[in-house]
Amino acid sequence: MNLSHAYGVAPTLEAAERLLLTAVEEGVTHFDTAALYGFGTNEELVGRVLAGHRDRIVLASKCGMTGVDGRRVIDGRPETIRRTADEALARLRTDVIDLYYLHRLDRAVPVEESVGAMAELVKAGKVRALGLSEVSSQTLRRAHAVHPIAALQNEYSLWSRDPEEGTLATTRELGVALVAFSPLARGVLTDAPPDPETLPASDIRRGMPRFGARHYPANLARRAELARLAEKAGISLPQLALAWVVSRGPHVIAIPGTRSTAHLRENLSVLDVEVPGEVLDAAGRVLNAATVNGPRYNEATLAEIDTERGGRAG
């Protein structure tokens, strides 16, 4: 996402290409994009750069939320899903998408209708497996009854705990992978947390309450506690944050985004680090749903979200 959409100024195409190819070289096999990201430009980027490596990767994209006339639009109608899928196949330069998500639930369209259209894509050989994003356990169960759901992508990190209200257990029960996006708290749990005052006006975090003047100082204080905990354990803060996410269960997959090859390698290094359980437990006590300050989205966006907590803090 952050190579083409919503996070400040996008990197040059050359830098983005270099990052993607480095990821392949470092053994990354799962690449996650969406029609929304850059309103199609990220799918084009991924398709162009990774076309020569298609047999080595799992390619995931999303439908149901796209750019229309310069605006973000949620549209889960079957006809829109079919059209978006064909456009994605062309941009991704592939005959089949390995994992295709419904990016957001369209509250005007029953999830059964949206997933039914996606199931038709599977039957047609255009998609191999289906996923959902930012939905509740109830919606997941309804969708799963129409067609097996392979993955649920919800925000999950030390500071965003919605899955613990139901979907963490439900995905485990149903044999669904829980794909955790923003596992590094949108950059806060890295070695260089963002300064909201210097972010471009177009940066998505500008509109997120947790980055506002009312809440951000308290969240940085919690981050500082975590940094001290990581240092004492002999690991970096990003390693601690990612280790905590992947420790939540064997079916939990973290997908940290980055623009930096150095950060890419640091993120991958968590697979080679053993973090003691007591350190992970301590991290969870420092930052959690009760200690984070502010909701993760503003009111308008919260109204679009189907997860159990609706993104509320506390």
Tokens of 182: 């923003």
Compute the distance between CA of residue 81 and CA of residue 261 in angstroms, rounded to an integer. Answer: 34
Catalytic annotation present for 216: no
Q: Pick from 105, 88, 90: which is nearest to 35 by CA? A: 88
Of the residues 37, 100, 101, 297, only one is catalytic, namely 37
Tokens of 258: 């980055």
Neighbouring residues of 65: CB distance < 8 A, sequence distance ≥ 6: 34, 35, 36, 72, 73, 74, 75, 103, 104
Number of Cβ within a 10 Å radius of residue 291: 18
Q: Pick from 256, 38, 50, 305: which is nearest to 62 by CA? A: 38
Q: Report helix, strand or coil for 173.
A: helix
Compute the distance between CA of residue 104 and CA of residue 70 in angstroms, rounded to an integer. Answer: 18
Compute the distance between CA of residue 199 and CA of residue 229 in angstroms, rounded to an integer. Answer: 28
Residues serving a catalytic function are 37
